[in-house]
Amino acid sequence: MALTGVEIFKLLPKTNCKKCGFPTCLAFAMKLAQRQASLDLCPDVSSEARQRLSEASAPPVRPILFGTGDRAVRMGEETVLFRHEKRFVNPTVFALEIKDTLADSEIRDRAADVMGSEIERVGQRLRIDAIALVNDSGTIETFESAASILASHAPSIPIILCTRSPEAARGVLPFYAEKKPILYGMDASNADAMADVAKQFRVTLGIAAKGLDELVHLSEKAKQHGIEDIVIDSGARSAREILEHNTVIRRAAVKKSFRPLGYPIITFAQREDSLAEALIAALGVMKYSSIVVVRSIEKWKCLALFTLRQNMFTDPQVPMQVEQKIYRIGEPTPASPLFITTNFSLTYFIVSGEIENSKTPGYLAVMDCEGLSVLTAWAAGKFTAAKIAQFIRESGAEQLVQHRELIIPGYVAVLSGAIEDKLEGWKVTVGPREANGINAFMKARRQESSHAA
Ligand code: SF4
């Protein structure tokens, strides 16, 4: 259990030296108890006290690194029940189930699907993160064969090795010795043997329990074996059970600092019906699953789940932003139109999408307005004529386009004259108020120029 502020205070040096940045040891202790300070700030704490305090100040959901290299993902570290209280920290990991009973070519194809699942949205790279290799055959040889195919065809993808057989686990773990895999399958019948295997290979152990009580028991047992990195499955499979169990687990970890449940949750969402599977997976994303295993990764499903995950795991107090620069939409030439907007990511993606839909290549100058939308940025004094003029001058736009015409959002039409005053030699054209008017706007321009010709 976590220590109270007073209990932490008793373990500190009590010299009130202020080296930690707090006026007294008690003030520092209170911040530690609220998980708003790091123990590292006190240089004088004894090593015995440090060990006890490290446990007390650790996040209620244990941080775990899954996989290695560029595709490694972090799990856990969550500190709140609701996103608006602070933020959710480490996005849910999506894993594609691959059964070892599949033909070798199918295993390779599914691994290739995972490798090719990446898309870009709002400036972030999103993808299916992992593979869950399931020992569906129940035989060691088949499991080993599938593991060796994946180890050679998708070596960088983090893997969950799902088996209830300690012998099968010993057979496949050498393929992933240094890759930080998860060995999932410790249950009531094999607990000691699976814990020994996980310890021997120093891998994260996945507990497959039947209910919350058994989960607590197995978690404590794994800990007694010296296993620190654990992922937990209460056995919940229906939507109702997942919602109920995951909520109990997170609540126990965050509100009660109940360590046996303070681990990332793995949820198995597999369904024959792909839509039902997507809904169960979505429930996992919204309600505390650190890993969600699915049976299929159609593009529509990936897009829906990626978008939901992205929204759940962004900081609600920080607007999503894109980089300030001039973006090329299509294959623009020096004669192509130049639009300007702000760097609120949603604004950027809607405007760039509408320019693309208009089938007219163009340039989109995106100005840093701290992630605010056009009207908000204008009202906040961040999207003003002077700032726009300065940005266009410094952006390199004059080297990109041979004309001197800037198309501004219709909502800030009032700025057009002032921008022309400050941006010598430029003509300002007022574009549509809403991005969905860009297509008609560009069509009208094309017609005008063809009549003029
Ligand atoms: S640095 Fe350590 S000893 Fe000094 S005031 Fe802070 S907690 Fe107390």
Specify the CATH number for the domain of residue 342. 3.40.50.11600
317 belongs to a structural domain: no
* pLDDT at residue 56 is higher than 70: no
* pLDDT at residue 21 is higher than 80: yes
Give 251's pLDDT tier (boundaries 50, 70, 90).
very high
Report the sign of the C-alpha dihedral through residues 217, 219, 225, 226, in that order: negative
**Whether 287 and 146 share a structural domain:** yes
- Among candidate residues 185, 153, 151, the one with its CA nearest the CA of residue 166: 185
Q: In ligand 1, which atom is closest to the CA atom of 15? A: 3
Average pLDDT over residues 142-154: 96
**Whether 91 and 33 share a structural domain:** no
162 belongs to a structural domain: yes
- Among candidate residues 91, 92, 131, the one with its CA nearest the CA of residue 113: 131
Verify whether ligand 1 is closer than 6 Å to residue 403 (CB atom).
Answer: no
**Whether 348 and 426 share a structural domain:** yes
Whether the Cβ atoms of residue 252 and residue 263 lie closer than 8 Å to each other:
no
Distance of CA 348 to the CA centre of its chain: 20
Number of domains comprising the chain: 3
pLDDT computed for residue 31 by the predictor: 86
* pLDDT at residue 1 is higher than 70: no
217 belongs to a structural domain: yes
Verify whether ligand 1 is closer than 6 Å to residue 21 (CB atom).
Answer: no
Report how far ligand 1's centroid is from the alpha carbon of 78 (Å).
Answer: 27
pLDDT computed for residue 240 by the predictor: 97
**Whether 138 and 95 share a structural domain:** yes
pTM of the model: 0.76
Average pLDDT over residues 314-335: 89
Token pair of 267, please?
């949820």
Give the domain extent around 439: 325-452
Report how far ligand 1's centroid is from the alpha carbon of 289 (Å).
Answer: 38
Return the percentage of the chain with pLDDT > 90, whole number. Answer: 83
Residues 332-385 pLDDT 10s: 999 999 999 999 988 998 999 999 999 899 999 999 999 999 999 999 999 999
pLDDT computed for residue 388 by the predictor: 97
pLDDT computed for residue 2 by the predictor: 64
Report how far ligand 1's centroid is from the alpha carbon of 340 (Å).
Answer: 52
Report how far ligand 1's centroid is from the alpha carbon of 24 (Å).
Answer: 7
pLDDT computed for residue 59 by the predictor: 82
Average pLDDT, the chain: 94
pLDDT computed for residue 329 by the predictor: 94
- Final residue of a domain: which of 312, 335, 362? 312
Residues 155-207 pLDDT 10s: 999 999 999 999 999 999 999 988 999 999 999 999 999 999 999 999 999 99
CA distance 165 to 12: 46
**Whether 25 and 133 share a structural domain:** no
* pLDDT at residue 453 is higher than 80: no
pLDDT computed for residue 33 by the predictor: 80
pLDDT computed for residue 309 by the predictor: 96
